[in-house]
Amino acid sequence: MASPEVGRDKSPFMLQPKSLPSPVSKSSKTSSFNAQIILRVFAAAFTLAAICIMTTSSQSFPLLGFTIKAHYSDSSAMRFLLVTDATVCAFSVLSVLFVYRLSRSGSDLKYCFYLFLHDMVIMGLATSGCSAATAVGYIGRYGEEKMGWMAVCNHVRKFCNQMTISMVLSYLAFCSYFALSVMSGNKVMYQYESP
């Protein structure tokens, strides 16, 4: 007695995946490149504004007969944020030129992958700078009672507010690069899957 063999691929209830060609119009490609250029310009503008606000903010206050001046260079985390913002700004400008050239010459999978790697590295760099500055900013604003660290923002409110604005602008640049990473990853995946 022969047992009936039922193969998975012969079952009438199984869905068969089919690769459907998804044509991308020229206007869709153009709008994708335009969105990438706009997000990169936004990232460069946000980080440039953050750098300007950070470097020009300072405030002095008297403490025990001494005058103490608060400046971004007093904190290693704020200096690190400044360097990461400058790096993100510079690479954003360079990547705008690269994306513009890529849009003119056609998108090759290799170049799209390099752009994806660039966006991921810059996003990671922006994350590290923002995270370090946020940790120090939180302690500066609220203190840490268990460690004995006092809040200093009640003495230098203007300086702390300017640094907060600078960090918000840096986070906006991070959000721009997060969106760019998703777009670049999607483009690489589409380029890889298309025949």
| pLDDT exceeds cutoff 70 at 21 | no
Q: What is the CA radius of gyration of the chain?
A: 25
Instruction: Please give the Cα distance from 41 to 96 (Å, whole number).
Output: 7
**Domain 31-193 in CATH 1.20.120:** yes
Grouping H, G, I as helix, E, B as strand and the rest as coil, residue 60 is strand
Domain ranges in the chain are 31-193
77-99 per-position pLDDT tens digit: 999 999 999 999 999 999 988 88
Query: What is d(CA 182, CA 126) in angstroms, rounded to the nearest whole number?
Result: 16
Token representation of residue 187: 């483009």
**Is residue 65 scored above 80 in pLDDT?**
no
Token digits of residue 158: 């203007």
